[in-house]
Structure 1
Amino acid sequence: MSDLGSTAYVTENERVNRWPDRQIGVAAMCGGAKCAVEGLGSKDRWKKPLQEPVLPAVITTPADPWPRPYYFEGGFRRVRPYYFTYTTWCKERWRGRELIDIFESEFRDRPLAYYRNAMEGGEVAVNSKTVGPHYVLRNGDYITHTLHRHEPPVTIDPIGVLHEDDHMIVLNKPSGVPVHPSGRYNFNSITEIMKSERGPSWTAYPCNRLDRLTSGIMFVAKNPKAAVALGNQIADRTVNKEYIARVIGRFPDGEVVCNQPILAISPKLGLNRVRANGKHARTVFQRLAYYPPTKKYDREPTSEGNADSPADAASGAGRRPWSGKEGYSIVRCMPVTGRTHQLRVHLQFLGHPIQNDPIYANQKVWGFDLGSHDSDASLNSDEDIISRLSRMGKEDVATAVAYYDEMVDEYEKRRAEKMSGEVCDMCQTPLYTDPGPHELSLWLHSLRYEDKHGKWGYVSPLPAWALPPKGFNGPTQVGDMGALVEAAVKEADPE
């Protein structure tokens, strides 16, 4: 906590009124009346004259309130805004580059003008000093960024527990919640939500990571030894993993093996594409079910598991070639390697992207063909894709083809997360609207983890969107992984 001086007994409200242009780091919630000096009650703080505090050159704050500042409203788990300090050591790729260049190229949470002002004002500092935006970073530099933090809301769906013993918890993670604090998310993460439920002394040790939008099985160890043991198993590829996805069109019969390499073309946006100079990647796919269209558009499944029928692909096919792939398929996915967005990228390349994927099934980003079989970027250059995607969540809304029906498009736009045009009264940060339901879910689910030697295994129930739609018969559970494993082994060693 900042050193406020021996006679500075100041509440958060008083700070805002007296020094609105000075950001003092306090672990207080927005609008609260918490005394800045511990141990002093509301009466005690008036015993000495109030003086303006002498602020240090760099302001830091622990920002670790307990209980966690959650509240529930409008179907979301929300966090009240609070002050927070990000800290990091200079990364190798940052060395020799200006501070403002790093923030411009790798962080997109706030406008560039905000970062420049924060560097000039000391909210962004290096080695506890105000250095300005043109400081050139060196090895060993320690960077801090103190700000008034606004976390996005997440789903109120509970974190399911499939198994728990003295060493490990096997979760059924809800979609839309990141595993651990990252980016705009801190308290609205799996590890922090679990900590709020289990007590301040509890520590989570995640063993595998799922993307924020992906649901399903993940492991949280109760101690470092258990985390290392399972982590080593996963790293040594002695664990088989299976996912389930809902994709556009009728996926091919049999086992389909995709060996296309994957390259990260924008770390800032988390964007990956199939590229010859990318990292080796291999996935085995198998169609579980196919459901043809009977109505004009898909709707999300209900909580009971029934979904309306798929989109009528015949309508609008001239303007939307992807709609010629009628209906949708439920596809089993076995990643042999573990590249970022591997399943999403491989399914897109095969011409069957995940139906509600806001990145890889986004017509506004990829065009009518949705990036299918474009390994040389001849249809869409990397620069064009990055430019279009960077607008998503700013002035445009990230919309997957599953939500592209004319009747619901405008409705979903109004409900989707993007900059609202309003700013925070306290810190002038641009505020976002609430996310729409399609931005809290990706039709990709971590279904199964099992030891290759049969020592243990866990399977989650199928998610609602993977169950047969209303009026159709189809599988409600998945068999063993024998055929997928056999295809993976055969592809790796044809002999």
Structure 2
Amino acid sequence: MALIPSPREAFPVPPPDTFAEPPAVIIPPCDPWPRPYYLKDRLRKVYPYHFTYNTYCKERWRGREILDIFASEFRDRSVEYYKNTILAGRVVLNGKPITSTSTIVKNGDVISHTLHRHEPPVTAQPIGIVHEDHDLIVINKPAGVPVHPAGRYNYNSIVEIMRADRGYTFKPLPCNRLDRLTSGIMFIGKHKAAAEDMSQQIRDRSVKKEYITRVVGEFPEGEVVCEQPILQISPKLGLNRVRANGKEARTVFKRLAYYPPKEGQDKEVSTTEAEKGKENGMAWKRLRGYSIVRCFPLTGRTHQLRVHLQYLGHPISNDPIYCNQRVFGPSLGQGEEDSENDEDIMTRLERMGKEDIAEAVAYHDEMVDEYNKRKAEKMTGEVCNVCQTPLYSDPGTHELGIYLHAKRYACEDGKWDYETPLPEWALPPPGMEGPMEATTETDPLAVNLEQLSLEGKGNVSGIPNGTDDTATPALAAAG
């Protein structure tokens, strides 16, 4: 059969797909190397540096004025600062200068903001090495240092500190994550395959975890099992509570030691005064003494250990949220399961670092800015000579973490087992005797789960079936 040519118009060919070029973004003025660290007063500090944030327009920003977005969404600096920085050209939209603070932001726009960045200091305590081979580094993370750059922290993060120590091309790959305030065992992959292998072990729930903490009062002896479900009440404030409609959560606790108040300490303030709560919170804690408790999380809910310990009436003694009498009152929320007081609790918690100063010595990320401002206004009053930003006083080294430490991680089939010594705050106080290290008898990893009637109630090694936790798992979320 002969081929009969057809006119091109009979079978139109659509033009190839075309894509609009993405909007231009601003490249940060520099990526300083070596990192601009310096050590002072037992803190790791970062010299201020210029940095450009590039942010795509969020859905809630669409159709709003640029100054309104900055004033309501970015509260680190004053409205006057944002107005001046926009007009000075340090905020641009899609790579082009903005001529008015009333400029409307649309879907797909990229906002670039170049500022003189002042990072908060973190502890100068080095990152401890528990084990290292060709694939993994097992570290002992110091309290007060975030794992990844986020929010106000960039170079003062675990991954950046390790890069600074080992070279620009080194890319540490965290396999699990601990909260900024928590210390202890973390796994860092040296290459992608190793990181994925360890993360898979964690996802397969074949890793046992043990934490150690220091709580208010005389914790009961023997195994204490808490199976109260946990619900997130406020993501912004980091508040979680025991609620019947929360997610399943189970923890085994076992006391390692109890240290009563020192002789004569109870004479510092009367019991009646201590019961006033708000004015005498620290004295109230001293009157009760404290316990060192080992924790075995069988599930991995956010703040699981902190919430369960509060519910049991023995909160972590320097927890800025769950051991805060100005927020929860003298009972500290012991045994509470209903939502009757949630609104009042959130209101009081939001005031911490604003109108009130929390009595605990560590501060949640959402509150630390305002707390530092109050602290600075009382102690400095100086401003940066480059950007006119108020300069805040440094936190004390004791303010950088809470008494919660990821002490041991062990593979369920016995292939590996990594452990750190007891942290200093868990050792016997001067003049008192007590355990300097854990023993098999006090080890929650050796707890008889069958005796506790926990076998068959789900996974007992870590993350429960059906959890929505990510690959850098509930190991940290349990804290």
Check whether TM > 0.5: yes
- Which residue number in structure 2 is paired with residue 48 of structure 1? none
- Residues 83 and 377 (structure 1 numbering): CA distance in 2 closer, same or farther, change over 3 Å? same
Q: Which residue of 1 aligns with 2:430?
A: 470
Contact map agreement 2:208 2:445 (CA 8 A) in 1: no
Query: Residues 143 and 287 (structure 1 numbering): CA distance in 2 closer, same or farther, change over 3 Å?
Result: farther
Match of 1:186 in 2: 154
Alpha-carbon distance in 2 for matches of 1:414, 1:62: 28
Q: Which moved more, 1:160-169 or 1:341-350?
A: 341-350
Q: Aligned residues: percent identity?
A: 58
Which residue number corresponds to residue 319 of structure 1? 276
Superimposed CA distance per residue, residues 250-292 of structure 1 (whole angstroms, 9 cap, x where no aligned partner): 1123222223333333333333333344333322211111111
| Alpha-carbon separation, structure 2, partners of 1:136 and 1:158 | 44
Deviates more, 1:173-182 or 1:272-281: 272-281
> Which sits farther off after the overlay, 228-237 or 389-398?
389-398
> What SS is found at the alignment partner of 1:430?
coil
Deviates more, 1:127-136 or 1:323-332: 127-136
Deviations 1:285-326 (A, max 9, x none): 11111111115669xxxxxxxxxxxx9895733223973772
Give the superposition deviation at 1:71. 1.2
- The match for 2:189 is 221
Q: Is the aligned partner of 1:390 residue 2:350?
A: yes
**Retained in 2: the 8 A contact 1:415–1:434?**
no
Q: Could you tell which deviates more after superposition, 331-340 or 474-483?
A: 474-483
Counterpart in the other structure of 2:328: 366
Q: Paired residue for 1:87? A: 54
Task: Please state how far the C-alpha of 1:179 moved relative to its aligned partner.
Answer: 1.4
Structure 2: how far apart are the matches of 1:104 and 1:286? 48
Opposite residue 433 of structure 1, the aligned amino acid is S
Report the more deviating stretch, 423-432 or 236-245.
Answer: 423-432
Query: In structure 2, how many angstroms separate the alpha carbons of the residues matched to 1:102 and 1:444?
Result: 37
Contact 1:174 1:215 in 2 (8 A): yes
1:457 to 417, 426, 440: 417
Taking the aligned partners of 1:281 and 1:77, their CA distance within structure 2 comes to 36
Secondary structure of 1:432 counterpart: coil
1:429 equivalent to 2:389? Answer: yes
C-alpha contact 2:42 2:124 (8 A) present in aligned 1? yes
Instruction: Please name the residue that 2:453 is paired with.
Output: 490
2:223 equivalent among 249, 255, 265: 255
User: How far 1:185 sits from its partner (Å)?
Assistant: 1.1
Write the deviation string for residues 164-200 of structure 1: whole angstroms up to 9, x where unpaired: 0001001111111111211111111111111111111
| Alpha-carbon distance in 1 for matches of 2:318, 2:307 | 14
Once residues 264 and 127 of structure 1 are traced to their aligned partners in structure 2, the CA distance between those partners, rounded to angstroms, is: 37
Conserved 8 A contact 2:210-2:296: yes
Deviation (angstroms), 1:391: 3.6
Aligned residue among 178, 188, 191 for 1:210 = 178
Unaligned runs of 5+ in 2: 1-23, 363-370, 459-479
Aligned partner (choices 240, 244, 247) of residue 279 of structure 1: 247
Determine helix, strand or coil for the equivalent of 2:219: coil
Q: What secondary structure does 1:170 align onto?
A: strand
Give the TM-score of the pair, scaled to structure 2. 0.76
Q: Answer 1 or 2: higher relative contact order, Cα 8 Å, separation at least 6.
A: 2
> Which residue of 2 is the match for residue 160 of structure 1?
128
Number of paired residues?
416
Tell whether the 8 Å contact from 1:416 to 1:439 is kept in structure 2 after alignment: no
- CA change 1:105–1:271 in 2 (3 A) is farther
Once the two structures are superposed, residues 349-401 of structure 1 have per-residue CA deviations (whole angstroms, 9 ceiling, x without a partner) of 221111011222122232222232333233x333x333333343445433228
Counterpart position of 1:376: 338
CA contact (8 A) 1:63 1:85 kept: no
Which residue does the alignment assign to 1:147? 115
Q: Give the superposition deviation at 1:68.
A: 0.8
Q: Is the 8 A contact 1:264 1:271 kept in 2?
A: yes
Q: Distance in 1 between matches of 2:261 and 2:327?
A: 25
Q: Is the Cα–Cα contact under 8 Å of residues 224 and 254 in structure 2 kept in the other structure?
A: yes
Distance 1:355 1:69, change over 3 A: same
Cα–Cα, structure 1 residues 276 and 187, in superposed 2: closer, same or farther, change >3 Å? same
Whether the 8 Å CA contact 2:61–2:69 is kept in 1: the answer is: no
Question: What secondary structure, in the 3-state scheme, does the structure 1 residue paired with 2:44 have?
Answer: strand
Post-superposition offset of 1:242 = 0.7
Residues of 2 paired with 1:414 and 1:121: CA distance? 28
Identify which range, 205-214 or 239-248, moves more after superposition: 205-214
* Unmatched runs of 5 consecutive residues or more in structure 1: 1-56, 299-310, 403-412
Change (3 A) 1:345 1:242: same
Residue 8 of structure 1 corresponds to none
Letter in 1 for 2:449: E
- Given the superposition, is the C-alpha separation of residues 265 and 209 from structure 1 closer, same or farther in structure 2, using an over 3 Å criterion? same
What's the counterpart of residue 447 of structure 1? 407
> Aligned pair in 2 of structure 1 residues 286, 312: CA closer, same or farther (>3 Å)?
farther
One-letter identity of the residue aligned with 1:210 = L
> Residue 213 of structure 2 contacts residue 292 of structure 2 at CA under 8 Å; is this kept in 1?
yes
* Partners of 1:245 and 1:330 within 8 A in 2: yes
Residues 103-158 of structure 1: CA deviation (Å, up to 9, x unaligned): 677655334554566566664555445495785664x5544332211011111111
SS in 2 for 1:220: strand
1:201 to 166, 169, 174: 169
Contact map agreement 2:116 2:387 (CA 8 A) in 1:
yes
